[in-house]
Structure 1
Amino acid sequence: MPSTALNIQFTLVMLTHKRPGFLRRALQYYKDFPGTLLVLDSSPEPAAGITERFPRVDYRHLPQFDYRGFQAKIKHGLGLVTTPYMALVADDDFILPDAIGESLDFLEAHPDYGMCQGYSMMYLAQAGHINYYRRDKKIGQEDFASDDPRQRILDYLYAFIPPFYAVTRTSLLQDWAAQIPDNLRFEWLEVSHTWFLLASAKARMLPIPYAVREANYGASEHNTEVTYALALPDPASVASREEFSDVLAGLETPLKGEREQLRALARESFALMYEGLAGGRSLIIEPVFSSHVNGPGEASTYKFLPTQYVNLPFYNQAFFDRLGEIEFLLHALPAGRVQQEELESIWLQQERLLAVHPEDNAFSQIARAREALKAAPYNLAVVKRLADLLHDDGETEEAGKLQAWARRLEAVASDGGRALLGAQPSGRLLDWLEARQPDPASREAVAAHLKQHQGGPQIGILLLNLEHDEARLQATFDSLINGVSRSFRIIVFTTGPLPAMTSLQSTLHFVRVSKDDYVDKINQIARQSSCDWLMLAEAGDEFTATGLLRAGLELLDAPDCRAVAVDEIQQLSGGAWRELLRPGINLDLLQSLPPLMARHWLVRREVLVEAGGFASEFSEALEYELLLRLIEKGGLNGLAHLDEPLLISRAPELKHNEHARQALARHLAARGYKAQVSSALPGALRIDYRHLERPQVSIILRSEDNQEALQRCLESVLQRTRYLRYEVLVADNASQSPAHLQWLEQLQQLGGRVRVLQSPQRLGEAALINAASAEASGEYLVLLAPDAEVVNANWLELLLNQAQRPEVGIVGAKLLDAAGNVTQGGLMLTADGVQAAHVGLKKDETGYLGQAAVEQNYPAVSAVCLMVRTEVFRALGGLDEVGFADAYADVDLCLKVAEAGLLTVWTPQVQVVHPGQLPQDEVALAALRGKWAGLWSSAAHGRRLDPAKAAFDWKALIG
């Protein structure tokens, strides 16, 4: 069919939503398509540059249709189509133009047919290869030509191949969209579409390759699955099918009959479709071959699996030629999540290989650029850089080939790796680090300032090279040479031969060690060194360009600091980066997660020597054991945190560490506990303090005409609490409901553990709890929300496990919804106010760096479930009844506890069902921020490195 005829007769309608990368790639594929191309984009913001780059495209920005407005968007789009034929297409699918032409020719020649298509394959693009899957099954019948619409429907659904993207007569689709109810459940949309088309006209499957479609590899945002909807036996699903069968029976089509007969036909068709899908009769995802990337301009290598399906029309040269064009776009314009996640580490590696080093020459730069190109040949920046280097070096033939490859990439507006890397976590961290560099004026000011202070503190890097890995050692050296600080000395402890004779006064000193004596030699060097601060690191750790400079400037004004925790960037096993931002000095998190909290500390040299150095018997937990000894001697005094990443290091393997467990057990014994330390999760430690006392606990519940919720709460306490020494104080706030008052009277008469305290007048929440606490006989108080339900029987024991520690003032719990999702962890003080941690995680998920699964200190916890020592509560004046009568009194209490020198502990072991909403009281929040302005910024948790705020005011730091 001539292209002019196609332009007149056919419209391709592309559906997209918040996926500009997919859209741009798809439009690049269809840019020479001779028909009309209509794009329906429901993203909140329009895609940039579409009309300029693709002027023939009819681009419609439709933000009024969100993702769940899919049906309405299609209906709107169908109303815009004026050609007699059309097809729908997703932004991640590639319909073959020849297949469209052949399908259109068939429909033109057969006016009694409504739709036509061929067979599709599935693809999944990854970093260096693409996997292809068999999707459609060819099970015999291809021509659904019965004159009986009933037979056509049953035949097609038996051999079901989705017709959603088939070439179809526009009038049929418009009629379908006009008749189906608005807001039809998503899983029924496809079924109604198939039913209507087959009820209205004949259908044809041509024995040709039709489309290459992306395989699903994650949960749909629609959260639906048509297979289950067709057969689930629960009442709601049955009712939904019955309702939908009635919809189908009411459609105006050539299919005629009594309504109940049509409903029965619908139910029969559901059963056929379910059998085909669930049993793999009609559709399947089965790998058949893969395509692997070679060098620039080279054809991909195909690897075929043993099972092939030659009855399908894909095994011919014309199809593989077309596939080559598609593969070029998939690699040059990567858009899929899986593909970009795998490419993240490669792009990062390429960026770092292209960086220019002070001692570089042409040979070293070309060698690294070649390595970068080998990692991913579709990165335009890498291709152009190597081509320029080779051209300048006189290797014009190879440079010319790369320049031609670069032109091909530029023709599709490939961003290469750098722009796409910027959208990944590693790229954002790379941007953040680059923005930290001081400008020349700042460098001069900092240098002058340090000169006035004898160059600033000298940092000694105790570098372990116990595997004698020269490549990793060189990476550490390169990072230090490329940094802006020179106030350091490196002492390498190596098991290999010494490369040079050096002295302790040298900037670089080598010490020969064995794996048996290296700790003793570290301690010996520490005693002899003239450095002010020492840090333990490993060969391969790379220092950030500005981290040591920032640390040196900060430590100038920190005479009382004994040890300093720093942030770092961790390199994952695949090579990508993630930030490790430690939440300040957090005793319980340090005890719970040593792999994440006890690495790469800066320790004052005199402090290390005075403590006796590192303990060789804890060689697998050197820093952790040392920090615990420092805490034994001086508590948390003199321990500080520097919010600056100093290193890029390999992420530690989270595994059981017996040395860490033994070190913590020894430490707790030294503090007077008879504790048992266990490994709750790989890398995590859990402490049972084994307190001997069994104190009385008073649980306070608020009552205010809330019998239904309060009764559920009370029953959960009475039925699930294993601990025996407790009482429940029901503090009634002048309830008015006769039924509620009668229920309270019955509780009072029952006696036992429950006491009812009645206020003659309405009080604020804080005042009511204070009044009840005055009547409490327990040594510990538990504030429990009346709409909460306790989950675990040992909840009081677990709260007491933390609350009986003399350094602890308050303990809080993990809040969950009925489905087991976290509604609230500890409470953080952020720029926006008070924020709950871990919200939305599943109850067993470990969260950011594993913190959702372990005890730790937070600025505050919620009074939904809060335990406090009674004497502490009373000494601090209880809850503030004036400033925080009905909101944020719990946060205020926690901050008062911190001011008194006590810790607030959050334990995920105690779980309480509660919605977990935070108060929406701006006046109380403003009062809280005003009262505790000094604590607000220092108490913040959950930081993230923000590339937009990466620039640092070095001059402000030096005054």
Structure 2
Amino acid sequence: MNAIYSSIKTFVRLFRNFWLSLFGFVRIEADLIAGKDVDQCHGGFVALGIDPQIIIRSRSKNLFPGWYLMSYRAQAGFSDCVFVPSIYPLHMSEPGSTPRFVPTNFGNTPDSIGLIFDQPDARPKPTDGSYSLKAHFSGEIHHLINYRFSAAGFRFDPFDADYPRTREPLKGWFDIKNLSITRLGFIPLIFFCFRTLFLNYPDTPVHHSWKTGVALFAKKGKSSLLHWLTHQTYQKIQPSPSLTYWWNFYQSTRRCTEKLTSRTTGSALISLVLYCDNSTKLPLNPCIRSIINQDCSDFELLVVNPEAMTDEDRFSLRSFRRASRCVITTCAEIHQEIEGEFFAILDQSVLLEPHAIASFKKAVELHNPDIAYADEVFVSGNSLSVSQISLKPAFSIDYFLASGFIGLPSLVRRNLVGPTNKSWMQCSANAVSELLVLSALQNTKRVLHIPDLLSRRIFTSGEPHTSRLSPQIVQRQLCNIGFTQASVEPSKDSAIFHIRFYEKNNGKTAIIIPTKNNLVLLRQTVDSVNQTVPKDLYDLVIVDHESTDPDCQMYLDALSKEHIVLSYEGVFNFSKINNFAVSQLKAEYDAILFLNNDIEAFRTGWLESMLDKVLRPDVGIVGANLLYPHDPGHENQPTIQHAGVILGIGEAEHFMRDERYYDPYAGEKNPDANQPALVTRGFSAVTAACLMTTPQVFKEAGGFDDSLAVAFGDVDLCLKVDNLGYKVLCDGEAVLIHHESATREKGGDIDPHPFDSEKFKHRYRYDVKQGDPFYHPLLVKNNFRYRPIRNPIPPSDPAYRIVDNPGFVNPGLNSNTPDRPN
């Protein structure tokens, strides 16, 4: 009897397992238990270290091998967080312990974050025995898993392979709520896959999918078909992180616009000029629908070139014309027809977000700008997949002239623009908008940037609607302002312009180079300057700080026969050394260039380009793009060391540091379209490794602050010059190599200049906290690499970037007007 009973029991168990594997649809009850580097709190979990782990235990120990749908709601309190989960067998779980940070730590304190993650360019390979799940942001998450671990449960690592690496470990609050684990038998799995692919997502190409599935089944059998089917389903229910995923997440987290709309009660009327362009080959109706669906109805629409409209477009406009003012007109009549205080040019490539007009109206009513612009997303053709997220800085006229960066739509005050003419019909909407902004700039008192994505641009490379204003028109505008010697020429990239404001200058620049020993580096710097700059344009001023190397002393003696060699004694103080050098200058110089003795110039024209800009009466300081040493045999592109300085990343960090350099003026295209072209543009500060100013500005700013002996003296000088109302530029046409820190010892992970850091941080604590106006708030701040922040949240009250008096000062004047972003 026992044998019979045992056989029946075995048969029932096998039949039950067979039934579950074929038809099972069972919800598994499970508990979440804090593991290594995690504490459980009332509202979720707290990550304490670099490897947070959660143990998921089945209450009935029935997590048998098979397919499971795991769902939960993820939340995180980190400002820049992406969940990159993996699951492991229980035997690989580690007990909780006090986190230790290796290899060293800042400030020699045991609880400081000493592990600084490098940012790899590839995800690490998963550990053997683990299952890597799809990365995701916060929100409702679904994973389709072919589970093969213990029936008792598994280990869940929510941040297992965070890529790209953050600068420091993700520490703080997070939560995994509403965990649901459902076992799917073969039939429910197939039903779930088909329902997901062909019912929930009707955009799936049915014919192509069936054809692929049949081919897989015929060639490789049922297992390959099932693998392909589950992979496609997983991709649908949990898309991989991408720009499109980022944009969809950003839209899904946007707060209700009722609050925004209810506050836009001012009287400023905005006129939208829809510029119909036959050459774009894009339908007009999507643009019209985006205008009709605006949350704010207090605006007018003018449609130019109505011949491009279809019957569908005209039908869409009929209902809109009943509720709002809609005028169909020609280019020559636009100025007479516009009733709004502000107007903006659009074309059919622009799809406005529903809150766009309300956002512009709110900004106008709060701050009364003359020009306003916002950020935009570029989508590819009919697929509407995001190809670029354009996050813009505060306004810089040099950046605008070089690249026309502000895009569509750009709001312009009507009374600052002259009458329209028929020549507009020969230009793209992009060029017309650029012309309007350029025409208005000289009389503009304020330009405002809204740090929010208010439009999508349907972008197809090479189409006319992406073209810029012609260089001849830009040059004519500069001549009208007073730069009669200005020249504007297209680079090898037609969207980037070479700009010179003056003809060749015959004055001289004093190039100040502090040094101590390191003959090889010093000789390299001096030789590179001699080879790339005409000798009549500069004098070298070498400041010898107690060199003891005999060969170096002999070299300095030889240099003193042609150039100036000064001796400086005392404790090393970068600020004092440079101030001392300036005080010893006897001749009259047009400009002063502070240059490190580890800088190498490798092409001509760099000094002339910097001098051309620093001599403008509105410019106070000009820096250069600096690259790390580059071996063309091993690296395709050089790496950026400096392209400007950004406040608020740490205290201050180099812009685009460690990214690959692509020369926009040489027509080199960056494969990452999200990264801006490194053309000439405004910054809050630049590095003194290569910094040019004029003697008058240097004296007015009070020179370098001697109390900042080594670190942040250059940033402090730039910020003082900013406060005087001058522009600080980084010259995109001046590119040099920086053999960084080869001349002085590094302090490892310990801050080598803590006094300087604390003094700078205290002096500019508000600016460091609020962030740099030339750096978008949706860009990551815990990492010097350039990328959008993860878990982006749209602003309900954007921190507007405002630039007062952004235009040029007439070159015939000696006074300067303020140009300080707020």
Displacement, 1:899? 1.9
Residues 823 and 49 (structure 1), Cα distance of their counterparts in 2 relative to 1, 3 Å cut = farther
Question: By percentage of residues, which structure has more helix?
Answer: 1
Give, in whole Å, the separation in 1 of the partners of 2:611 and 2:676. Answer: 21
Unaligned runs of 5+ in 1: 1-42, 78-87, 93-220, 222-291, 305-314, 335-378, 380-415
Query: 1:843 aligned to 2:661?
Result: yes
**Deviates most, 853-862 or 479-488:** 479-488
Residues 683 and 762 (structure 1), Cα distance of their counterparts in 2 relative to 1, 3 Å cut = same
Corresponding position of 2:509: 697
Corresponding position of 2:337: 525
* 1:80-159 correspondence runs (5 A): none
- Contact kept, 8 Å, 1:780 with 1:867, in 2: the verdict is yes
Query: 1:600 aligned to 2:409?
Result: yes
Q: Deviations over 1:765-818 (max 9, x none)?
A: 111101111223332111111122222133222222322223222111111112
Corresponding position of 2:253: 435
Corresponding position of 1:566: 374
Q: Which residue, out of 356, 362, 365, partners 1:547?
A: 356
Give, in whole Å, the separation in 2 of the partners of 1:826 and 1:838. Answer: 8
Q: Deviations over 1:442-461 (max 9, x none)?
A: 36xx52x445x4xx432222
* 1:165-244 correspondence runs (5 A): none
Query: 1:827 aligned to 2:645?
Result: yes
> In structure 2, what residue type is equivalent to 1:299?
W
Query: 1:420 aligned to 2:233?
Result: no
Q: Which residue, out of 574, 577, 582, partners 1:773?
A: 582
Corresponding position of 1:134: none
RMSD of aligned C-alpha atoms? 4.3
* 1:375-386 correspondence runs (5 A): 379=236
* 1:423-822 correspondence runs (5 A): 423-438=241-256, 442=259, 447=262, 449-451=263-265, 453=266, 456-467=267-278, 472-493=283-304, 494-495=306-307, 496=309, 499=314, 507-512=323-328, 518-526=330-338, 529=339, 531-559=340-368, 561-573=369-381, 575-577=384-386, 578-594=388-404, 596-608=405-417, 616=424, 619-620=427-428, 621-634=431-444, 637-651=445-459, 653=461, 657=467, 659-671=469-481, 672-680=483-491, 681-737=493-549, 740-748=552-560, 751-752=561-562, 754-776=563-585, 777=587, 778-819=589-630, 820-822=638-640
Displacement, 1:838? 2.1
Q: Deviations over 1:230-263 (max 9, x none)?
A: xxxxxxxxxxxxxxxxxxxxxxxxxxxxxxxxxx
Residues 540 and 797 (structure 1), Cα distance of their counterparts in 2 relative to 1, 3 Å cut = closer
Give, in whole Å, the separation in 1 of the partners of 2:572 and 2:676. Answer: 38
Give, in whole Å, the separation in 1 of the partners of 2:323 and 2:555. Answer: 79
Residues 920 and 569 (structure 1), Cα distance of their counterparts in 2 relative to 1, 3 Å cut = farther
Give, in whole Å, the separation in 1 of the partners of 2:495 and 2:131. Answer: 44
Residues 532 and 735 (structure 1), Cα distance of their counterparts in 2 relative to 1, 3 Å cut = same
Give, in whole Å, the separation in 1 of the partners of 2:648 and 2:713. Answer: 17
Residues 942 and 652 (structure 1), Cα distance of their counterparts in 2 relative to 1, 3 Å cut = farther
> In structure 2, what residue type is equivalent to 1:764?
N
Give, in whole Å, the separation in 2 of the partners of 1:581 and 1:699. Answer: 36
Query: 1:868 aligned to 2:693?
Result: yes
Displacement, 1:854? 1.4
Give, in whole Å, the separation in 1 of the partners of 2:400 and 2:276. Answer: 26
- Contact kept, 8 Å, 1:704 with 1:733, in 2: the verdict is yes
- Contact kept, 8 Å, 1:432 with 1:946, in 2: the verdict is no
Give, in whole Å, the separation in 2 of the partners of 1:914 and 1:475. Answer: 49
Corresponding position of 2:702: 877
Q: Deviations over 1:550-601 (max 9, x none)?
A: 2222211233x2111222222234522232222111111100112x324311
> In structure 2, what residue type is equivalent to 1:927?
K
- Contact kept, 8 Å, 1:767 with 1:879, in 2: the verdict is yes
- Contact kept, 8 Å, 1:713 with 1:789, in 2: the verdict is yes
Displacement, 1:510? 4.9
Give, in whole Å, the separation in 2 of the partners of 1:951 and 1:658. Answer: 30
* 1:347-358 correspondence runs (5 A): none
Give, in whole Å, the separation in 1 of the partners of 2:209 and 2:310. Answer: 45
- Contact kept, 8 Å, 1:611 with 1:629, in 2: the verdict is no
Q: Which residue, out of 729, 736, 742, partners 1:912?
A: 736
Using the size of structure 1 for normalisation, the TM-score is: 0.54
**Deviates most, 884-893 or 544-553:** 544-553
> What SS does the aligned partner of 1:698 have?
strand
- Contact kept, 8 Å, 2:399 with 2:682, in 1: the verdict is yes
Query: 1:295 aligned to 2:175?
Result: no
Corresponding position of 1:328: 229
Q: Which residue, out of 896, 902, 914, partners 2:720?
A: 896
> What SS does the aligned partner of 1:911 have?
strand
Corresponding position of 1:262: none
- Contact kept, 8 Å, 2:434 with 2:469, in 1: the verdict is no
Aligned identity (percent) is 17
Give, in whole Å, the separation in 2 of the partners of 1:702 and 1:587. Answer: 33
Residues 718 and 607 (structure 1), Cα distance of their counterparts in 2 relative to 1, 3 Å cut = closer
Give, in whole Å, the separation in 2 of the partners of 1:828 and 1:955. Answer: 19
Give, in whole Å, the separation in 2 of the partners of 1:699 and 1:955. Answer: 43
Give, in whole Å, the separation in 2 of the partners of 1:467 and 1:322. Answer: 51
Query: 1:854 aligned to 2:679?
Result: yes
Displacement, 1:331? 1.6
**Deviates most, 532-541 or 739-748:** 739-748
> In structure 1, what residue type is equivalent to 2:680?
E
> What SS does the aligned partner of 2:278 have?
coil
Displacement, 1:481? 4.6
> What SS does the aligned partner of 2:479 have?
helix
Give, in whole Å, the separation in 1 of the partners of 2:415 and 2:422. Answer: 13
Q: Deviations over 1:835-894 (max 9, x none)?
A: 212223333264655633311111111111111112211222211112x22111111222
Give, in whole Å, the separation in 1 of the partners of 2:213 and 2:264. Answer: 61
* 1:237-276 correspondence runs (5 A): none
Give, in whole Å, the separation in 1 of the partners of 2:677 and 2:402. Answer: 11
Corresponding position of 2:175: none
Give, in whole Å, the separation in 2 of the partners of 1:728 and 1:301. Answer: 70
> What SS does the aligned partner of 1:729 have?
strand
Q: Deviations over 1:342-368 (max 9, x none)?
A: xxxxxxxxxxxxxxxxxxxxxxxxxxx
Alignment coverage as a number of residue pairs: 587
- Contact kept, 8 Å, 2:334 with 2:420, in 1: the verdict is no
> What SS does the aligned partner of 1:557 have?
helix
**Deviates most, 423-432 or 490-499:** 490-499
- Contact kept, 8 Å, 2:451 with 2:776, in 1: the verdict is no
Give, in whole Å, the separation in 1 of the partners of 2:764 and 2:130. Answer: 57
Q: Deviations over 1:467-503 (max 9, x none)?
A: 3999944323433454432222222232147847989
- Contact kept, 8 Å, 1:611 with 1:630, in 2: the verdict is no
Give, in whole Å, the separation in 2 of the partners of 1:450 and 1:718. Answer: 60
Displacement, 1:44? 5.3
Give, in whole Å, the separation in 1 of the partners of 2:799 and 2:701. Answer: 39
> What SS does the aligned partner of 1:786 have?
coil
Corresponding position of 1:927: 759
> In structure 2, what residue type is equivalent to 1:565?
Y
Give, in whole Å, the separation in 1 of the partners of 2:245 and 2:488. Answer: 40
Unaligned runs of 5+ in 2: 1-49, 66-87, 95-101, 103-116, 134-164, 166-202, 631-637, 663-668, 779-787, 801-822
> What SS does the aligned partner of 2:730 have?
strand
> What SS does the aligned partner of 1:645 have?
strand
Residues 450 and 325 (structure 1), Cα distance of their counterparts in 2 relative to 1, 3 Å cut = closer
Residues 468 and 765 (structure 1), Cα distance of their counterparts in 2 relative to 1, 3 Å cut = closer
Corresponding position of 2:803: none
